[in-house]
Structure 1
Amino acid sequence: MSIPLSVLDLAPVSAGSTPQQALRNTVELAQRAEEWGYHRFWLAEHHFAAVASSSSTTLIGLVAAATSRIRVGSGAVQAGHHTAASVVEAFGTIDALYPGRLDLGLGRSGHRRAKFGPSGAGGTAGSTTGGAAGDEVRVRDGVVIPPPFDFGSLAGKERYLAQDRALYQPGAEPVAFTEYVDQVRALLDGTYRTPEGVELHAVPGERARVQLWLFGTSAGESAQLAGRLGLPFAVAYHTVPATALDAVDAYRAAFRPSVELAEPYVVVSADVVVAEDDETARHLASTYGHWVHSIRAEGGAKPVLDPATAPPLSPEQHRVVRDRLLTQFVGSPSTVVERLEALRRATGADELLITSVTHDHKARLASHRLLAEAWGLREAAAA
């Protein structure tokens, strides 16, 4: 039987549309994803961009209310922008009304950085002069591994600094990520103590039936910490494909059995556009590069352009987004399934996390439906 598929959504705003409509689209996608047999529906947190998932925890509650079975969660909470207590209390509140369906994913995004670069899960820093650090593209067991993107000469640095200032309380400094995860775990299991030994209890939140996840993009701290703690791990191949497979290897190497897991559990993300035939899918996906370029080189995601009217990428723009275009999964159901199967084999993924960005919401719905049918999600659920 094929492994489960899940959905990661950002509530992208399309050119000519509104954030309000993007949120309605996300709720509808979650309802259809549940109907089509997807296992989870996760929301990504992004700020000051043309995506409507900035208050992702609020949106998680709305999606949970609009669905009945599918697991709902964060992919991921940007840990640097929230205290551990605020996150546990928020998820505890949703779990109190929709118990046993929540996934609490934590990413290192939002922690202050000594230099600009990818900000953990779903990093948004970029450069107009950056690009692939070399031209070599490797293929591992059928999976494209592009060279790392070079964020060395960030344009619009002032904008990123302004965003940081707007998201942090004056003088606030996020705790180290490992300590942050420890705080979340202690608040959830009722063992939290301040450095002075004072007991604190999250109400609601303590004993909430949420599943804790860590997100990562490389073989660094997040992958190793998830392994040492015996937590499930989500790897963002769709944003940082150059190091995603290294992250999987590091997680497995560090894994120690825990109360949560006896064996490693890995989810790997992929950016996907499926249509009835390859040509149509390529047309629908043709403005994805423009969208990624706006993230990397223009200070944040801009509205998704209409492929019927958008100009082609310039050679310089294409260079900035080349790694993401090479690793997008675009085509007919059979074409995409074949490539996703290669990703599953290369990573040993226990689950694949599908994200899709198109201008036309109906096309995005159709993409997820066609993939679910080709993957056999309903048949697997019925078995």
Structure 2
Amino acid sequence: MTHLSILDLSPIPSGGTAAQALRDTVDLAKKAEEFGYHRYWLAEHHFTPGVASSSPAVLIALVAAATSRIRVGSGAVQLGHQTPLAVVEQFGTIDALHPGRIDLGLGRSGQRRAEALREPLAPREPKTRRVVDGLLIPEEFSFAALVRSPRFALYASLLQQPGAETPDFADQVDDIIAFLNGTWRSPDGLDVHVVPGEGAALQLWILGSSGGQSAQVAGERGLPFAANYHVSPSNVLEAVEAYRAAFKPSATLAEPHVLVSADVVVAQDDATARELASGYGLWVRSIRSGEGAIPYPSPAEAAAHEWTEEDRRLVADRLDTQFAGTPGAVADKLAVLRDVTGADELLITTITHDHAARVRSHELLAEAWSAR
């Protein structure tokens, strides 16, 4: 059976606080373990009034301490903002206290920000909307305008030490693997042993939104790969195909292993699900307009927003690929996503204004999925 897992951003609802959002994350993690979810991953986002998961290692440690069986990890650590040594020390510390349950998911988000500042995104032919065996692959969204935002450069400068330069992603991943294995050597042959960290039973993952370097690195090093349908749905097939094409068997995996994400809201009836999901478009709009994620709107706040054509273009791909509906209907859509992408696992992210509704959405989905 294909495992379901959860990606949590610790969303802050309008009128809420970061402290309550973090308490809600711990509560949802405990419930997810009861519901039978396989993994519970925490995201890394910065400068977002509507998201509290800015320090995944800290939050992972708290969630791991509050649970006993479910795997807990990062989705993903932004390597552009940290050194491989710091990451291995952080996650090695968590693994020392919760051995064999910790996933270290690595992403290029921070590196892509730095690269875009040095060399602006080149124009490319956008992907057009299509349906592949029942799965919608929407028109590709261009991030070019977001990269030109003054805030984009400001955030990049605040996340790194002055004058710091981010190494190549592949080199950073190789350093992490070497630190964990105890095989790291300096150019002049000096060895370094990371304590805690060396020998940690971490499961290493690479996350990616396209068929670019992340998919290539994951495949060439024989690591599991998480592809992103919920943020970059137009590129999901390209990403998994590139990973599988690059895959080489390793001590970790004999064959490719793919996890695919999806944004989901489940309720007992369609009308309730649509109402619970109604704040999503306004929330995505805030991210893509360069503001950063606003506190998640209530259904009433979402209904009061006057949408322009530009607004709709900003969020169309995300709204069209969100799965909102009854448990059975959403489970059917997830099965299509699994079959078309060949996913071995699915990663579910759900945001609602009301925490109890979010918990119930995950509960209903788990029941429907296990009954298939």
Q: Per the shorter chain, which TM-score range?
A: over 0.9
CA contact (8 A) 1:224 1:254 kept: yes
Q: Distance in 2 between matches of 1:367 and 1:74?
A: 22
Aligned counterpart in structure 1 of residue 173 of structure 2, from 165, 181, 192:
181
1:115 partner letter: A
CA contact (8 A) 2:146 2:290 kept: no
How far residue 360 of structure 1 moved from its aligned partner, in angstroms, is 0.8
Q: Distance in 2 between matches of 1:166 and 1:294?
A: 21
Q: Distance in 2 between matches of 1:250 and 1:103?
A: 23
- State how 1:209-224 maps to structure 2 within 5 Å: 209-224=201-216
CA RMSD in angstroms comes to 1.9
SS in 1 for 2:301: coil
- State how 1:81-160 maps to structure 2 within 5 Å: 81-111=81-111, 112-115=113-116, 133=126, 136-154=128-146, 157-160=149-152
- State how 1:271-286 maps to structure 2 within 5 Å: 271-286=263-278
Of 306-315 and 18-27, more deviation after overlay is shown by 306-315
Tell me the alpha carbon deviations over residues 152-195 of structure 1, each in whole angstroms, 9 at most, x when there is no partner: 23387211111111110011111100000000000000001112
Q: Distance in 2 between matches of 1:371 and 1:321?
A: 25
Alignment pair present for 1:302 and 2:294: yes
- State how 1:200-279 maps to structure 2 within 5 Å: 200-279=192-271
2:356 aligned residue: 362
Q: Distance in 2 between matches of 1:347 and 1:316?
A: 31
Q: TM-score, normalised by structure 2?
A: 0.95
Q: Distance in 1 between matches of 2:59 and 2:184?
A: 27
2:116 partner letter: K
Q: Summarize the Cα distance change of 1:264–1:114 in structure 2 as closer, same or farther, 3 Å threshold.
A: closer
2:342 aligned residue: 348
Tell me the alpha carbon deviations over residues 11-31 of structure 1, each in whole angstroms, 9 at most, x when there is no partner: 010000000000000000100
How far residue 256 of structure 1 moved from its aligned partner, in angstroms, is 1.1
SS in 1 for 2:332: helix
Identical amino acids, percent of aligned pairs: 59
Q: Distance in 2 between matches of 1:116 and 1:360?
A: 37
Aligned length: 365
How far residue 213 of structure 1 moved from its aligned partner, in angstroms, is 0.5
Q: Distance in 1 between matches of 2:312 and 2:41?
A: 29
Q: Distance in 1 between matches of 2:158 and 2:237?
A: 34
How far residue 298 of structure 1 moved from its aligned partner, in angstroms, is 3.4
Tell me the alpha carbon deviations over residues 325-354 of structure 1, each in whole angstroms, 9 at most, x when there is no partner: 011011001110111000000011000000
2:48 aligned residue: 49
How far residue 114 of structure 1 moved from its aligned partner, in angstroms, is 4.1
Tell me the alpha carbon deviations over residues 289-323 of structure 1, each in whole angstroms, 9 at most, x when there is no partner: 11111111032111000002332433321110000
How far residue 150 of structure 1 moved from its aligned partner, in angstroms, is 1.5
Alignment pair present for 1:13 and 2:7: no
Q: Summarize the Cα distance change of 1:116–1:327 in structure 2 as closer, same or farther, 3 Å threshold.
A: farther
Q: Distance in 1 between matches of 2:194 and 2:107?
A: 21
Aligned counterpart in structure 1 of residue 366 of structure 2, from 366, 372, 376:
372
SS in 1 for 2:46: coil
Structure 1: tracts of 5 or more residues without a match: 118-124, 126-131
SS in 2 for 1:243: helix
SS in 2 for 1:271: strand
Structure number with the higher helix fraction is: 2
CA contact (8 A) 2:146 2:152 kept: no
How far residue 197 of structure 1 moved from its aligned partner, in angstroms, is 1.6
CA contact (8 A) 1:160 1:299 kept: no
2:3 aligned residue: 4
Q: Distance in 2 between matches of 1:354 and 1:327?
A: 13
How far residue 211 of structure 1 moved from its aligned partner, in angstroms, is 0.5
SS in 2 for 1:308: helix
1:339 aligned residue: 333
CA contact (8 A) 2:9 2:53 kept: yes
Q: Distance in 2 between matches of 1:155 and 1:337?
A: 35
Q: Distance in 2 between matches of 1:246 and 1:156?
A: 26
Q: Distance in 2 between matches of 1:85 and 1:152?
A: 32
CA contact (8 A) 1:266 1:349 kept: yes
How far residue 371 of structure 1 moved from its aligned partner, in angstroms, is 0.1
CA contact (8 A) 1:40 1:70 kept: yes
Structure 2: tracts of 5 or more residues without a match: none
